């Protein structure tokens, strides 16, 4: 029986230590290498030669890894308090004065609470503000107040805004200098804390606006972004045991979309095309890829792994990933059913 999210928690037994897995559960599989705070350290490294870079946050430096920058450059760090609209407006002002602000908060607060301020103060003027947001999609178990399941759909519709969804520590480290170099506003999803690091094993290099084929395969093509690239790479290894050969096209830039790479890979006949994203099935990468294929006359067998169009449950993160189809096990089960 499904439990209510409002059901009281079971009290700890004598001597039992209760843990909070909902917020801090690692996205890394057992034995997977990780890096601590790749965003914060990459920004510190970049700022050494870029005096224009400043860090700004809405009371969430510790939880977006911006505290690493604040410790190194306290005179270039601005704590704006719990006021996301003020944060975005102040960042716009800093950009107008020639600075390159890196602004951090949670993805829900940027996309839902500060949308109009980002649109009018930053995007309309194409100002050089980099908005980097933690807890994208289903990366916390704290429920709808903190689960930014629709942020890509919201920001894909905003003119002038580049949208990035990195997979791992390698992606984040390489994306930071790339978005700093890019002229104009950027929204980047952020994995924080101890972030899995897997793409370096594939010789991957981040390029703004480019999708990359990380792995080849004859039976299935995964078109994935964000942490789901990590999941489908794990799934591809597991599915080898069933003699299912999977390719992976990683799409870290959601807007502008690398339509050429998608059409080239999806146009190879005989493969099931599966888009996988840590986002609602409405308005994200899946719909963008489907539109690209349809208007160009490419019609492979097509499936979509994403979050349902609903407010999600609260709970332990691994349990939620299983429930909503984002875990490696769930991905494998889906692919087997589609090919069976």
Q: Which residues contact 324 (CB under 8 A, 6 or more apart)?
A: 138, 307, 308, 312, 330
Mean pLDDT of 206-231: 98
pLDDT at 23: 52
Mean pLDDT of 136-141: 96
pLDDT at 13: 54
Q: Say yes or no to pLDDT of 24 above 90.
A: no
pLDDT at 2: 40
Provide the mean pLDDT of the chain.
93
Mean pLDDT of 278-293: 98
pLDDT at 31: 85
Beta strands in 130-173 (DSSP E): 130-134, 162-164
pLDDT at 29: 81
The CA-CA-CA angle for residues 253, 208, 183, to 5°, reads 110
pLDDT at 26: 73
31-196 and 209-339, same CATH topology = yes
CA distance linking residue 135 with residue 145, whole number of Å: 11
- Enter the pTM of the model: 0.93
* Per-domain residue ranges of the chain: 31-196, 209-339
Instruction: Report residue 17's pLDDT band, with 50, 70 and 90 as the boundaries.
Output: very low
Whether domain 209-339 has CATH 3.40.50.920: the reply is yes
CATH architecture for the domain at 31-196: 3-Layer(aba) Sandwich (3.40)
């Amino acid at each position: 029986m499904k439990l209510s999210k409002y059901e009281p928690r079971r009290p700890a037994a004598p001597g039992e230590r209760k843990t909070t897995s909902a917020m801090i559960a690692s996205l890394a599989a057992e034995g997977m290498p990780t890096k601590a705070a790749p965003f914060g350290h990459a920004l510190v490294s970049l700022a050494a030669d870029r005096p224009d870079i400043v860090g700004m946050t809405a009371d969430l430096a510790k939880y977006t890894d911006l505290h690493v920058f604040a410790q190194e450059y306290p005179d270039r760090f601005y704590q704006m308090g719990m006021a996301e609209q003020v944060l975005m407006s102040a960042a716009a002002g800093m950009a107008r004065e020639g600075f390159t602000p890196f602004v951090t908060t949670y993805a829900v607060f940027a996309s839902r609470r500060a949308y109009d301020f980002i649109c009018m103060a930053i995007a309309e003027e194409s100002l050089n503000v980099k908005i980097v947001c933690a807890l994208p999609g289903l990366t916390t178990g704290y429920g709808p107040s903190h689960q930014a399941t629709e942020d890509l759909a919201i920001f894909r519709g905003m003119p002038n805004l580049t949208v990035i969804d990195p997979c791992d520590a390698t992606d984040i480290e390489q994306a930071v200098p790339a978005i700093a170099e890019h002229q104009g506003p950027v929204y980047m999803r952020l994995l924080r804390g101890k972030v899995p690091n897997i793409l370096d094993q594939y010789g991957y290099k981040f390029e703004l606006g480019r999708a990359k084929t990380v792995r080849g395969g004859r039976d299935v093509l995964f078109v994935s972004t964000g942490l789901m690239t990590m999941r489908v790479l794990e799934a591809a290894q597991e599915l080898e045991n069933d003699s299912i050969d999977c390719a992976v096209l990683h799409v870290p830039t959601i807007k502008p979309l690398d339509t050429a790479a998608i059409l080239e890979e999806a146009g190879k006949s005989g493969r099931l095309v599966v888009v996988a994203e840590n986002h609602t099935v409405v308005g994200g990468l899946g719909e963008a890829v489907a539109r690209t294929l349809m208007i160009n006359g490419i019609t492979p067998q097509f499936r979509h792994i994403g979050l349902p169009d609903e407010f999600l449950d609260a709970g332990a993160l691994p349990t939620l990933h299983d429930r909503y189809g984002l875990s490696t096990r769930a991905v494998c089960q889906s692919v087997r059913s589609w090919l069976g």
